[in-house]
Amino acid sequence: MVLTITALAVPLKEDADGVVRVGGTRVTLDTVIGFFEQGESPEQIAEGFPTLTLADIYAVIGYYLRHRAAVVAYLERRKEEAAAVRREIEAQPGHTEFRERLLARRASRSATAE
C-alpha cells in the first residue's frame, strides 16, 4: 500500500466582518485558541463545541503553532476592536441605567431559581 500525502486546507474562513471562523461554523478562531491557551486539550474543546470536528480543532491549533505571530496579531486586533465597541456602547446615553436594570433582572431570576 502506498501512502498518498496531500496538503490539507486549514479550516479557517474570514467572514464579511473580518472575523475568522472555524470549519464553516460560527465558532471563532479567538474561541478555540483562547481555550487552548487556557490549557484545554483539543478533545476538551471538542466536547464544548460539538459543531467542530476534532480534526478541525487540531488543524487550527497546528496553524496557530506554525503562524503564532500572525495569529497573535489578529487576536490583539480583535481585542482592540472589541474594546472600541465596548467604549462606544458605554458612551451611549442611558447605558448605565439600562445595565443596572439588566443586572437587577438577572439577580431577581437567580434568587427565584434558588
Q: Are 60 and 10 in contact (CB under 8 A)?
A: yes
pLDDT for residue 59 = 97
Which residues, in sequence order, are bridge partners of residue 20? Answer: 14
User: Which tens digits make up the pLDDT trace of 16-58?
Assistant: 999 999 989 999 999 999 999 999 999 999 999 999 999 999 9
Q: Is the pLDDT of residue 12 over 90?
A: yes
3-class SS of residue 28: strand
CATH of span 12-113: 1.10.10.10
> pTM of the full predicted structure?
0.79
List alpha helices for the chain, DSSP H. 29-37, 42-48, 54-66, 68-90, 95-113
Task: Read off the C-alpha cell for 72.
Answer: 497573535
pLDDT for residue 33 = 98
- Spell out the domain ranges in the chain: 12-113
pLDDT for residue 36 = 98
pLDDT for residue 52 = 97
User: Which tens digits make up the pLDDT trace of 47-102?
Assistant: 999 999 999 999 999 999 999 999 999 999 999 999 999 899 888 888 788 888 88
pLDDT for residue 48 = 97
Q: Are 27 and 49 in contact (CB under 8 A)?
A: yes
